[in-house]
């Protein structure tokens, strides 16, 4: 069985799509442009062996189209493994809209994007991600049925962020169990980097479990609000990676574990909500393992959101959503134990299990 991993240093701009390692045999990449609304978007469909490619839409003010393309390729690939490791009958897809969500997002732009999604006839199903709200998914729903994460009063599962945060919390407890021998977080110090919708809810869970929570974010107003609401401590040192805490929970954008930071990290456990936390899956995953730092694979522990929106497709209730999300705890323990037993990184151990499920289904489909 072959499992490909990303080496960020191998990415070259000379072949913008097929030549990128992040392309990783994507089935389809769709470039969307609408002059009237200003829409510039890219939809990445990585793999549909297990089912339609479901993944959120991110609106971000990328510095270049190259950056946007690389992001959607990495994110959609991650969704393939996220669904596979979680046991969902879904493939991997993702979309990015290039622009400032605060100033450039309009109902017309979202409807235009929705029409592009609709043109794929269900091969890609969209949902909420960074820069998006549940109301935006409701707008997309006006022009296509291939959208999840719509409002509960419209028959959807609602905002996936609380379930995402709960899944990350389950992953943190499992990683703590593996590293410290107990999943009791009473007195454990946790640094949450990024306190958006998911990060704030994670702070709430950690605080309720007795952890000493530090918070870091570029938005000072958010820091003060979360501090006052939960009693969290604002981490005001410039170097969050050198923080002497038990657990580091990256919950903002990805690639925070990179050449510059990987050897500065003092935490004993890394477990957070951000996607693609390892800038280089091979190099940085190996360094963490050699340093004795437990890394809970991001695409596993942040899968609560897709579990939540998958309920809209399979028609299961909140009780089943919670049950499936709580199982992230067991799967995380399984992955970490497998990594130790087989002397490999936890990220690679998770990829192997996910890829095996995809390969098995592919064989079934060929019969």
Q: Please write the tens of the pLDDT for every residue from 50-71.
A: 999 999 999 999 999 989 999 9
DSSP assignment, residue 10? G
CATH class of 25-78+90-154: alpha beta
Is 257 annotated to bind a ligand? Reply is no
Is 42 annotated to bind a ligand? Reply is no
Active site residues: 94
What is the predicted pLDDT for the residue at 238?
Answer: 84
Task: At 309, list the tokens.
Answer: 């929106």
Pair type for strands 247-250 and 233-234:
unpaired
Distance from C-alpha of 237 to C-alpha of 195, rounded to nearest angstrom? 17
Distance from C-alpha of 150 to C-alpha of 133, rounded to nearest angstrom? 9
Q: Which CATH superfamily is domain 161-355 in?
A: NAD(P)-binding Rossmann-like Domain (3.40.50.720)
What is the predicted pLDDT for the residue at 11?
Answer: 46
* CATH 3.40.50.10860 domain range(s) in the chain: 25-78+90-154
Dihedral sign, Cα of residue 183, residue 188, residue 194, residue 197:
positive
Distance from C-alpha of 83 to C-alpha of 30, rounded to nearest angstrom? 21
**DSSP run (H or E) holding 30:** strand 28-34
Is 199 annotated to bind a ligand? Reply is yes
* CATH 3.40.50.720 domain range(s) in the chain: 161-355
Distance from C-alpha of 41 to C-alpha of 177, rounded to nearest angstrom? 41
Is 150 annotated to bind a ligand? Reply is no
What is the predicted pLDDT for the residue at 168?
Answer: 98
Distance from C-alpha of 169 to C-alpha of 329, rounded to nearest angstrom? 9
Cβ-contact 335, 297 below 8 angstroms:
yes
- All residue ranges of the chain with pLDDT < 50 are 8, 11-14
Please give the model's pTM, rounded to 2 decimal places.
Answer: 0.89
Distance from C-alpha of 325 to C-alpha of 241, rounded to nearest angstrom? 28
Is 197 annotated to bind a ligand? Reply is yes
3-state secondary structure 188-221: CEEEEECCCHHHHHHHHHHHHCCCEEEEECCCHH
Is 143 annotated to bind a ligand? Reply is no
Residue ranges in the chain assigned as alpha helix (H): 65-86, 107-118, 134-141, 161-180, 197-208, 220-230, 281-290, 298-301, 304-314, 318-341, 346-366
């Amino acid at each position: 069985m072959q499992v490909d991993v990303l080496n960020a240093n191998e990415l070259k701009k000379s072949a913008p799509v097929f030549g990128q390692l992040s392309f990783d045999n994507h089935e389809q990449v769709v470039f969307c442009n609408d002059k009237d609304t200003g829409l510039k978007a890219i939809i990445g469909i990585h793999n549909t062996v297990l089912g339609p490619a479901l993944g959120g839409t991110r609106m971000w003010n990328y510095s270049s189209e190259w950056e946007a393309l690389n992001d959607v390729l990495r994110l959609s690939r991650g969704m393939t493994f996220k669904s596979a490791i979680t046991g969902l009958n879904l493939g991997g897809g993702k979309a990015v809209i290039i622009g400032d969500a605060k100033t450039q997002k309009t109902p017309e732009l979202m409807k235009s994007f929705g029409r592009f999604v609709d043109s794929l006839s269900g091969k890609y199903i969209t949902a909420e991600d960074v820069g998006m709200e549940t109301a935006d998914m409701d707008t997309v729903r006006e022009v296509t049925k291939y959208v999840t994460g719509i409002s509960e009063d419209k028959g959807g599962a609602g905002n996936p962020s609380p379930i995402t945060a709960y899944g990350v919390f389950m992953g943190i407890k499992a990683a703590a169990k593996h590293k410290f021998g107990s999943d009791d977080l009473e007195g454990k110090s946790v640094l949450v980097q990024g306190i958006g919708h998911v990060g704030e809810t994670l702070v709430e869970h950690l605080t309720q479990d007795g952890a000493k929570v530090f918070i870091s974010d570029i938005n000072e107003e958010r820091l003060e609000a979360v501090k006052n609401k939960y009693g969290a401590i604002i981490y005001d040192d410039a170097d969050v990676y050198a923080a002497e805490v038990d657990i580091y929970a990256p919950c903002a954008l990805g690639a925070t574990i990179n050449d510059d930071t990987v050897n500065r990290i003092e935490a004993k456990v890394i477990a957070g909500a951000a996607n693609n936390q390892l800038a280089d899956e091979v190099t940085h995953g190996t360094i963490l393992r050699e340093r004795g730092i437990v890394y809970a694979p991001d695409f596993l522990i942040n899968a609560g959101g897709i579990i939540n929106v998958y309920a809209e497709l399979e028609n299961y209730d909140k009780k089943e959503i919670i049950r499936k999300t709580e199982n992230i705890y067991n799967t995380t323990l399984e992955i970490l134990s497998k990594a130790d037993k087989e002397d490999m990184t936890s990220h690679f151990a998770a990829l192997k299990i996910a890829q095996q499920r995809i390969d098995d289904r592919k064989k079934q489909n060929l019969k």
